[in-house]
Structure 1
Amino acid sequence: MSANENIPLLVTIPHSGEKIPSQAPWLKGLPEEILMCDVDRYVDFLYEPALQKLKIPLVKTEWHRYAADLNRIPEDVDSTSVIGNKNPAGSFNRGFHWVITTYKHQLLPEPMSPEIHKELVDLVYTPFHESVKKQFQNYSDQGFKKIFHIDAHSMPSVGTSEHRDPGEIRADIVVSDSKGKSCDPRFKDLVIAAYVTAGFKVGYNWPYFGGRVTEQYGHPSKGHHTLQVEMNRSLYMDEKTKKLKPEEAKKVQDKVLFALNYIRSNLMHIM
């Protein structure tokens, strides 16, 4: 499965970071079951061996999504999260700064100052997105007219009351393209086929449609094709304790390698 030629494919993992910045002291001391409730824990562990083997660029962060969520934009805040913000309280409970978890645990006890908000933007958001844009530019500079991008995430195995699908048991993988807007449908079909052939049960645009990353980078008219790929956490971890299940995780790593190699090997047909 060696990478024999340069293919314009990159992967981002915006939610696997667990480091708490000094600007977010309210997160320190929280029980692990709460602190890791919505983190895409181990997604980098599952994908990185395959990405390294196939020489596919990766952009990820070390920072915790509750402090600054990279699948949001800095404007996704309200008066509950940032002092004096014009957006009404509660309109962005799980926005750029998380106020509550998807299980309704309280995170942010009081809104932060606009100055702290800006510091978190500069520390977390800007470097990550500058790195993503640089990867796109690198491929463009090499003469590629089309660039393909997978934004990798994880999801609870069952929807919570804060999701669109409360109580629903989810597929192994959910592929989202902003309701058909973020990529060539042939790329979506290829990615779905890759994960299905690898042995996953795959859903499309439910319960996730895609986030701000797919919105920001998925511009088919410019040749930029982005997909969000969510993986069911029950495949590789204990969802209550947030601990890895090593044997199951190794099987997932092998399937991810198969899927990414399948995608990489077949991209030339849609380039």
Structure 2
Amino acid sequence: MEITAPLIVTIPHSGEKVPPQTPWLNALPEEVLMCDVDRYVDFLYEPTLQRLKIPFMKTEWHRYAADMNRVPEDVDASSVQGSANPAGMHNRGFHWVITTYKHQLMPQPMSLQAHNELVQLVYEPFHAGIRNLYQSLHDKGYKRTFHIDAHSMPSVGTSEHRDPGELRADIVVSDSKGKSCDPRFKDLVIAAYVTAGFKVGYNWPYFGGRVTEQYGNPSRDQHTLQVEMNRALYMDEKTKKLKSEEAKKIQEKVFFALDYIKKNLPTIS
């Protein structure tokens, strides 16, 4: 893909493939298995990314098996045998033990070998892909890079979230509490989604994850934002099925937002 702007997008949670190391996931009903997956985010964003020639990275693997918005050290005694971290410290860490709706996922901790295999199978290729995207921008001559990490969120916070029972905005933009990007990039992204017709929140109830922490480094001119989209806009949250007509409208809004960002990046780069 020809690079035409110093912008990349990552989609770490839309994968649905279950690896052999986590066979317990295969026995779950779909409404539980897909409970915390960012289902359809790739469907909503990819047409725009292809059309605007914005490089992107996504994974095919299920986040319950290995979460790309965590690091391999985010495990505890309930997820990996022999971990020094106490049970409950990372029950929604690199391997998910329990869902945000309190469904039990892992019947027992996995072996250290299985953990290491998942790091090599899932984590390393995904993040190597991100590093390659950054390198391709640098090779193109861009010294300042901009990165959107695209996610989805429940429309209402659960008891396991910071905002239990709260209705959420259409979009939540997060920058690790001001640490992961130039504030002008944050302002641009918020303006883009607002102008596209979304109601936008900032740093609540999400502050950003490991992706924004790892790649957002303004001192190195790397500027990363997490962008969460409200699932009720395009899917039935109970059945996890796509609302086709609503999804088409969201795809159009996503194009408007990312086109707006791409066109206005020169003002801050």
Q: TM-score, normalised by structure 2?
A: 0.99
State the partner residue of 1:16.
Answer: 14
1:201 equivalenced with 2:199 (yes/no):
yes
- Of 245, 248, 253, which residue of structure 1 is paired with 2:246? 248
The reply to whether residue 170 of structure 1 matches residue 168 of structure 2 is yes
Amino acid at match of 2:207: F
Q: CA deviation at 1:4?
A: 10
Q: 2 CA distance for matches of 1:100 and 1:28?
A: 15
Which ranges of structure 2 fall in alignment gaps of 5 or more residues? none
SS at match of 2:27: coil
Q: Displacement, 1:67?
A: 0.1
Report the Cα distance in structure 1 between the residues aligned to 2:41 and 2:89, rounded to whole angstroms.
28
Deviations 1:130-170 (A, max 9, x none): 00001001111222110000000000000000000000000
Q: 1:102 aligns with which of 100, 103, 121?
A: 100
Measured against aligned partners, the alpha-carbon deviations of 1:70-104 in whole angstroms (never above 9, x if no partner) come to 00000000010000100001100100000000000
Checking the alignment, whether the CA contact within 8 Å between 2:96 and 2:105 is kept in structure 1 is yes
Which runs of structure 2 are paired with 1:61-210 in the superposition (5 Å)? Answer: 61-210=59-208
How far apart, in 2, do the equivalents of 1:71 and 1:109 lie?
A: 23
Code of the aligned partner of 1:142: K
Q: 1:268 to 1:114 in 2, by over 3 A?
A: same
Aligned residues: 269
Pairwise CA distance, 1:6: 1.6
Distance in 2 of aligned mates of 1:139 and 1:58: 12
Which deviations, in whole Å up to 9, do the C-alpha atoms of 1:170-225 show, x marking residues without a partner? Answer: 00000000000000000000000000000000000000000000000000010100
Q: Residue 211 of structure 1 corresponds to which residue in structure 2?
A: 209
Q: 1:5 to 1:107 in 2, by over 3 A?
A: closer
The DSSP-based 3-state class of the residue aligned with 2:151 is strand
Q: Secondary structure at the match of 1:90?
A: coil
Aligned to 2:43: 45
- Out of 258, 264, 267, the residue aligned to residue 266 of structure 1 is 264
RMSD of the TM alignment (CA)?
Answer: 1.1
Rounded Cα–Cα distance in structure 2 between residues aligned with 1:4 and 1:42: 25
The structural deviation recorded for 1:5 is: 7.5
Structure 2 distance, partners of 1:196, 1:10, is: 20
Is 1:7 the counterpart of 2:10? The answer is no
SS at structure 2 position matched to 1:120: helix
> Which residue is equivalent to 2:52?
54
Q: Distance in 2 between matches of 1:203 and 1:263?
A: 17
Task: Look up the SS of the partner of 1:39 in the other structure.
Answer: coil
Q: TM-score, normalised by structure 1?
A: 0.98
Post-superposition, which runs of at least 4 consecutive aligned residues in structure 1 deviate over 4 A?
Answer: none
Structure 1 residues 22 and 5 mapped into 2: Cα distance closer, same or farther (>3 Å)?
closer
Q: Distance in 2 between matches of 1:60 and 1:27?
A: 20
User: % of aligned pairs identical?
Assistant: 77
Give SS of 1:208's match.
coil
1:203 maps to amino acid:
G
